[in-house]
Amino acid sequence: MTVCLAIRFEECIALSPAGRKAVEDLIADCSAYDGFDPCVHFDTHLNADPKFAAWRLAWAEAPDDINAGRLPACSRDLLAGAARVFAPGRQEGEISACVAPVFRRQGIFKQLYGGLAADLVAAGIQSVLLVCESRSPSSAAIASTLGATLDRSEYRMSIGREGLAEINAPASLRLVPVSGEEIEEAAELAAVIFDDRLEDARAFAVAELSDKEREQYIARAAEGPVGMASLACEEGVYWIHGLGVVPALRNRGFGGSILDAMLVVLARRGADSVKLEVDIGNFTAIALYRSRGFEDENRTDYWRPGVQAG
């Protein structure tokens, strides 16, 4: 069934409690209908520009005769679609979006994406990507309507409680939580490890520190700081993000030691599972994760339109 109502678009920096609940319900509806995650997450507070309107919502407006019984009252102010931007740096922005099943095939997805893409370009971010779960039927439509090419893909991998119990803490490495005193060191490390601009790395480190659901760690060994990683608890699920090793110290086993140390921390907290994402072309990292018991869950595709908005 398809419902055709007037659509009103709204842009906002952050979601109100009611807006977040509406987006959560929309994600749940899309996930149940499609059988996969629409990749719309609530991490926009980590964006490099805190004033950027990271959310674009499509609200279905009921006609004036709604009270005459022609449409159910629940149709009023129904969230038909939502899109969000994740841009932790000022060079690239990722857009993910989803549309309620009953409002599809009306161009809402394209308008959600197009509006945010134009805003990104206007803000000076020239590289815009659209994020989709690989099983999404919209992937083929994206390639044809936007002239998009597949830029990269990432595996989502996870390890369960039994696998966590098999991990041993490394003897020669310790994790140091990042506090306000370590912000500059964490930013400088991130800039070197991930080839980021220092100002972007600093802004991201500050944003992570202000998020009570995230923790940053600097990994120290006899050689000094050798790498870093972050933990996040997103809706009760633990994630490892931003695991990296100083370039000059790679291929010496530090990546595995950092991973083991992080997993031991989470095992001691009683985590049921831990998830992470890795580029499908990073064969070394994939082999490391699989050696520890991580298994593939799904794949996320990042599409680059042939002509950027603007």
Segment among 40-54, 141-155, 166-180 with least mean pLDDT:
141-155
Provide, rounded to the nearest whole percent, the portion of the chain with pLDDT above 90: 75
57-108 pLDDT, tens digit per residue, is: 999 987 665 544 444 444 457 999 999 999 998 889 999 999 999 999 899 9
Residue 310 has pLDDT above 90, yes or no: no
Cα 77 to Cα 61: distance, rounded to the nearest angstrom: 6
User: 265-293: per-residue pLDDT in tens?
Assistant: 999 999 999 999 999 999 999 999 999 99
What pLDDT does 89 receive? 86
Q: Provide the 10 A C-beta neighbour count for residue 197.
A: 13
Give the Cα separation of 241 and 68 in Å (integer).
Answer: 52
Q: Can you tell me the mean pLDDT for 214-220?
A: 97
Rounded CA-CA distance 28/133 in Å is 15
**Residue 265: what pLDDT?**
97
Question: What local confidence, expressed as pLDDT, does residue 73 receive?
Answer: 43
Q: What is the pLDDT of residues 108-148, one digit of tens each?
A: 998 999 999 999 999 999 799 999 988 876 666 766 777 78
Q: Quick one: what percent of the chain has pLDDT higher than 70?
A: 91
**Average of pLDDT values for 33-46?**
90
Q: Which helix (H) or strand (E) holds 109?
A: helix 108-122
**Segment (H or E) for 261:** helix 254-268
pLDDT value at residue 74: 45
In the three-class reduction of DSSP (H, G, I as helix; E, B as strand; rest coil), residue 136 is classed as coil
Strands (E) across the chain are located at 6-12, 55-61, 78-86, 92-99, 127-133, 149-160, 174-177, 214-221, 224-234, 237-245, 273-279, 295-304
Q: Count CB atoms within 10 A of the CB of residue 240.
A: 23
**Secondary structure of residue 187 in the 3-state scheme:** helix
Topology annotation, domain 167-292: Aminopeptidase (3.40.630)
Q: Does residue 56 carry a pLDDT above 90? A: yes
Average pLDDT over residues 188-210: 93
Dihedral angle computed from the Cα positions of residues 115, 118, 120 and 124, in that order, rounded to the nearest 10 degrees: -160
Q: Which CATH class is domain 6-154?
A: alpha beta
Q: Which residue has the higher pLDDT, 263 or 305?
A: 263
CA angle 104, 105, 111 (to 5 degrees): 85
- Helix, strand, coil % in the chain, rounded to nearest 5: 35, 30, 30
- Residues 220-262: pLDDT tens digits? 999 999 999 999 998 789 999 999 999 999 999 999 999 999 9
Domain map (residue ranges) of the chain: 6-154, 167-292
Of 291, 300, 303, 289, nearest to 155 by C-alpha is 300
User: How far is it, in rounded angstroms, from Cα 84 to Cα 72?
Assistant: 29
6-154 and 167-292 agree in CATH topology: yes
Strand, helix or coil at 244?
strand
Cβ-based burial of 148 (10 A; exposed 0-12, middle 13-18, buried ≥19): buried
